[in-house]
């Protein structure tokens, strides 16, 4: 009688481990299947598509598809409009990412301060643009930016400055769209910053105050180190977001004036759905993917050097 449990125990333990493993797989299986079905397979087929000349003829008969190797990539790199799109996207990201982070961090710090009253109302007001429909707000901003009837030009000309043709001139179209994008997204980043700011212990600020640190020194030596990992996360998300800018120029300028707001994604849309060259549009998608990956790796390396994470 005593021998049975002795033999049975290790067997049961092994069985438990196996069944635990099975259960674990069971729990992750739904996500894995979803990732495989909706991410891995489409990405892999897009990669295959980018090596073919899938076009309008192929839409009529799949037999008209030819394997063309890297020709799509080669032509892409020789296309001046693609480089214009890259330059525009780079401009959007280089100006837009710092601008949106500064705005959202500023708003978060102000809202986190004890002196501000009606904080929930401010939070809702700042977050509201993020949850409203993009197209509706873009149309609204088109009116705000209107050369003759827009409220922004009304404010400018009441200061005695000449009116600006915001969306009609290549030099002002990117700043105009940036204003809109920053207004639209800063509420989301602000919420992340607010959450992390509330985790910074008050005694740290108190100690800093006792050591004679002013508000700027407190911000620099207490707040910034405490939120550094979040700052990194927000900057990675923002870079990826700005690289994928599409709907804003699509609704507000259609890529114009003089192709000054054609972004990489807008270029891909035109290639794919205006000219129906899905092969070369997939190639654009892959180049964009590689760009975002490269920038993210650089960001991670810089952050590691600065000690934002281990």
Distance CA 27, CA 137 (A): 40
Rounded to a whole number of angstroms, the distance between the first and last alpha carbons of the chain is 55
Backbone angles phi, psi at 136, to 5 degrees: -60, -45
**Candidate residues 127, 183, 246, 276; the one interacting with other proteins per rule CB under 8 A:** 276
Angle (CA) 226-230-234 rounded to 5° is 145
**Residue 247 makes contact with other proteins by CB under 8 A:** no
**Residue 63 makes contact with other proteins by CB under 8 A:** yes
**Candidate residues 24, 32, 59, 102; the one interacting with other proteins per rule CB under 8 A:** 59
* Interface mask toward other proteins for 185-204; x: CB under 8 A: --------------------
**Candidate residues 53, 76, 85, 166; the one interacting with other proteins per rule CB under 8 A:** 53
**Candidate residues 28, 34, 37, 56; the one interacting with other proteins per rule CB under 8 A:** 56
Contact between 174 and 93 under an 8 Å Cβ cutoff? The reply is no
**Residue 221 makes contact with other proteins by CB under 8 A:** no
**Residue 171 makes contact with other proteins by CB under 8 A:** no
Cβ closest to other proteins, residue 96 vs residue 272: 272
Query: For the stretch 224-242, what's the b/e string if a residue is b when 16 or more beta carbons lie within 10 angstroms of its beta carbon?
Result: eebbbebbbbbbbbbbebb
Cβ closest to other proteins, residue 113 vs residue 258: 258
Contacting range for other proteins; rule: CB under 8 A; set: 24-32, 122-130, 131-139, 269-277? 269-277
In the chain, count H helices and then E strands.
Answer: 15, 0
Nearest distance, CB of residue 156 and other proteins, angstroms: 17
Cβ closest to other proteins, residue 187 vs residue 272: 272
Tell me the sheet residues that pair with 52. 67
Q: Could you count the other beta carbons within 10 Å of the beta carbon of residue 217?
A: 13
Residues 6+ apart with CB under 8 A from 289: none
**Candidate residues 275, 290, 298, 306; the one interacting with other proteins per rule CB under 8 A:** 275
**Could you tell me the two tokens for 69?**
């190797």
Nearest distance, CB of residue 180 and other proteins, angstroms: 20
**Residue 254 makes contact with other proteins by CB under 8 A:** yes
Angle (CA) 8-12-16 rounded to 5° is 175
Residues that bind other proteins (CB under 8 A): 53, 55-57, 59-61, 63-64, 66, 165, 168, 254, 256-258, 273-276
């Amino acid at each position: 009688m005593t021998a049975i449990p002795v033999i049975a125990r290790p067997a049961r333990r092994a069985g438990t481990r196996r069944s635990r493993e099975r259960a674990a797989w069971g729990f992750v299986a739904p996500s894995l299947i979803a990732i495989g079905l909706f991410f891995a397979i489409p990405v892999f087929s897009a990669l295959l598509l980018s090596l073919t000349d899938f076009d309008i003829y192929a839409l009529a008969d799949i037999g008209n598809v030819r394997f063309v190797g890297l020709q799509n990539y080669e032509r892409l790199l020789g296309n001046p409009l693609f480089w214009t799109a890259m330059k525009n996207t780079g401009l959007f990201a280089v100006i837009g990412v710092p601008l949106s982070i500064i705005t959202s961090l500023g708003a978060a710090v102000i809202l986190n301060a004890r002196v501000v009253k009606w904080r929930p109302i401010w939070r809702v007001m700042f977050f509201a643009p993020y949850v409203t429909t993009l197209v509706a707000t873009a149309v609204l901003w088109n009116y705000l930016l209107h050369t003759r009837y827009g409220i922004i030009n009304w404010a400018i000309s009441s200061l005695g400055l000449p009116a600006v043709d915001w969306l009609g001139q290549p030099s002002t179209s990117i700043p105009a769209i940036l204003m809109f994008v920053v207004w639209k997204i800063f509420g989301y980043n602000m919420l992340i910053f607010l959450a992390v700011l509330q985790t910074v212990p008050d005694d740290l600020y108190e100690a800093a105050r006792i050591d004679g640190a002013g508000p700027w020194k407190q911000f620099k030596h207490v707040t910034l180190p405490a939120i550094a990992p979040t700052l990194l996360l927000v900057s990675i998300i923002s870079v990826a977001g700005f690289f994928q800018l599409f709907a804003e120029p699509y609704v507000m300028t259609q890529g114009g004036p003089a192709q000054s707001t054609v972004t990489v994604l807008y270029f891909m849309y035109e290639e794919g759905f205006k000219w129906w060259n899905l092969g070369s549009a997939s190639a654009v998608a892959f180049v964009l993917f590689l760009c975002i990956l490269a920038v993210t790796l650089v960001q991670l390396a810089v952050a590691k050097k600065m000690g934002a994470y281990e």
